[in-house]
Amino acid sequence: MPELPEVEIVRQSLDKKVKDKIILKVLVKNRNLRFKIHSGFKRHLNKKKIKKVDRFSKYLIIRFEDNTGFIIHLGMTGTIHLSNIKNKNSLTNTSFYHSPILPKKHNHVEIQFSKMKFIYNDPRRFGYFSIFHNPIELKKKFSHFGPEPFSKSFNMNYICNYFKKKEKNIKNFLLDQKFVSGIGNIYASEILFKCKIHPNKKAKNLTKYDCKKIFKYSKLVLKKAIKKGGSSIRDFQNINGETGNFQKNFNVYQRENLKCLKSKCNGIVKKKIISNRSSFFCNYCQK
């Protein structure tokens, strides 16, 4: 599943291509995604001009000029393709996973513009679309989420106060979207490695210095991942067909039984299942 950096790369790709474009036609081939596509979806989008493409956490937000719009969540296998009407053989993929060429199956939604069309493909159908009619309604849709790592609300006071007397381990908190939005399994492991914190350490046992490191490296790791174009665990590519390169910078993720990359550390990267998720960490420098 794409995490914040991959969704941000998709956002950047889409914004460059569909900003200021007018939607001419909408075709819904299959409403039965994770949540059934709203019956008024086509009417809601028809003839609307796209103001910009935003993102919150792992969600894409398509904003129209009239302050309405819709949200896209890619789920586990959702991909977005932009197909040039005149050159159908060009690279189309903006998303995480799969071929850069438009697949023939599982194309559930098409949004047509004057010279290209937006196509949503999702073999497992865990992604979904959700419309909103005004900014207040949009804000309510994300009201149960915690702040993003880049938000001013994600600060030292927030982190330290949140962890007080909490029994849950820090790895689970980094994956908890109510605490912080956008971090998934890959980046949680990488952040904790940078912090030198064991993923099983209880939140209530974290020191103020530990919280400071979490505050710092949550931002730095995600910023670096965005700069590197995301992580191509399989075939993530942006709209120009460029792959993400952050996987070349993994310190622990998928490096089980390899030597720790920290200088003067004799540790070995271990893999442990925590709450049904694979966690990777150094057995020496992460305490």
Query: Tell me, what's the pLDDT at 230?
Result: 61
pLDDT in tens, 75-128: 988 999 998 887 766 667 775 555 677 888 999 999 999 999 999 999 999 999
Any catalytic annotation for residue 58? yes
Average the pLDDT over 252-274 and give the result: 95
Average the pLDDT over 177-206 and give the result: 97
Query: Tell me, what's the pLDDT at 233?
Result: 42
Any catalytic annotation for residue 21? no
Query: Tell me, what's the pLDDT at 90?
Result: 64
pLDDT in tens, 3-42: 899 899 899 989 999 999 999 999 999 999 999 999 999 9
Q: Which of 2, 5, 149, 199 is catalytic?
A: 2
CA pair distance 51, 57, nearest whole angstrom: 20
Query: Tell me, what's the pLDDT at 18?
Result: 96
Q: Which of 48, 55, 58, 228 is catalytic?
A: 58
Residue 248: pLDDT band (50, 70, 90) is low
In the chain, what are the domains? 4-141 (3.20.190.10), 156-282 (1.10.8.50)
Any catalytic annotation for residue 2? yes
Any catalytic annotation for residue 264? no
Mean pLDDT of the chain: 90
Lowest mean pLDDT of 96-105, 117-126, 151-160, 186-195, name the range.
96-105
Residue predicted with more confidence, 2 or 134? 134
Q: Which of 166, 196, 202, 277 is catalytic?
A: 277
Residue 232: pLDDT band (50, 70, 90) is very low
